[in-house]
Amino acid sequence: MKELIKKLVEVSSPSGREDSIRETIINELEGYVDEYRVDAIGNLIVRKAGSAENPKKILLDGHADEIGVVITNIDKDGFLRIDPVGGVNPLMLLGAVMRFRSKSDGSVIRGIVSFESETARDLQNNYKNPSFDNLFLDIGATSKPDAQEKVSIGQFGTYDAGFIDQGKRLISKAMDDRIACAIIVQLFRIIENPVNDLYGVFSVQEEVGIVGASVAGYDIMPDMAIAIDVTGNSDTPKGFKRMDLQLGKGPAIKIKDRASISDRKVVDALMEAAEENNIPYQPEVLIFGGTNAHGYQLTRSGIPSGTLSIVSRYVHSPHEMVDYDDVINAVELLKRVVEKKS
Partner 1 sequence: MYLKELSEIRGVSGNEVRVVTFLKEMIKELPVKPDSIKEDHLGNLMCLRKGKDSTKTAVLMAHTDEVGLMVTRIEEDGRLLARPLGGVDTRVMLGKRVLIGDDDIPAVISYKAIHNQKDPLKSPPRWSDIKIDTGLGDKKTVEKRIQIGDTISFDTRFEEYDNRYVGKAFDDRAGCSMLLRMMHEMEETPEHNIVFAFVVQEETGLRGSGMVLKHFHPDAVLVIEGTTAGDNPELKEARWSTHLDNGPAVNYLQGGYAIDRRLFEVVLQTARENKIPFQLKGRTVGSTDTSRTARSFYGAPGAVVNVPSRYIHSPVSVMSKTDFENTYKLARAVINNKNFVRVSYDPKTRGA
Residues at the site binding partner 1, with contacts judged by CB under 8 A: 13-20, 22-23, 26, 38-44, 70, 72-73, 75, 81, 83-85, 101, 106, 133, 153-156, 205, 208-212, 214-215, 218-219, 295
Is residue 320 annotated as a catalytic residue, yes or no? no
- Give the full edge-to-edge strand order of the sheet including 164-166: 164-166, 169-172, 320-323
Do 61 and 199 form a contact (C-beta atoms < 8 A)? Answer: no
DSSP-derived 3-state class of residue 328: helix
Question: What residues does 226 pair with on adjacent strands?
Answer: 60, 306
- Rounded to a whole number of angstroms, the minimum distance from the CB of residue 75 to partner 1 is 6
Residue 40 or 120 having the CB closest to partner 1: 40
Do 175 and 230 form a contact (C-beta atoms < 8 A)? Answer: yes
- Rounded to a whole number of angstroms, the minimum distance from the CB of residue 313 to partner 1 is 27
Residue 196 or 214 having the CB closest to partner 1: 214
Pairwise CA distance, residues 190 & 173, whole Å: 26
Q: Could you tell me where the DSSP H helices lie in the chain?
A: 2-9, 19-29, 90-93, 120-128, 144-150, 175-190, 212-220, 264-276, 293-297, 324-339
Q: Given 18, 28, 206, 284, which residue is catalytic?
A: 206
- Rounded to a whole number of angstroms, the minimum distance from the CB of residue 309 to partner 1 is 23
Which burial class, exposed, middle or buried, applies to 144 when counting CB atoms under 10 A from its CB (0-12, 13-18, 19+)? Answer: middle
Helix 175-190 crosses helix 19-29 at what angle (to 10 degrees)?
A: 20
Residue 202 or 324 having the CB closest to partner 1: 202
Residue 41 or 328 having the CB closest to partner 1: 41
- Rounded to a whole number of angstroms, the minimum distance from the CB of residue 152 to partner 1 is 8
- Rounded to a whole number of angstroms, the minimum distance from the CB of residue 300 to partner 1 is 10
Residue 168 or 258 having the CB closest to partner 1: 258
Catalytic residues: 206
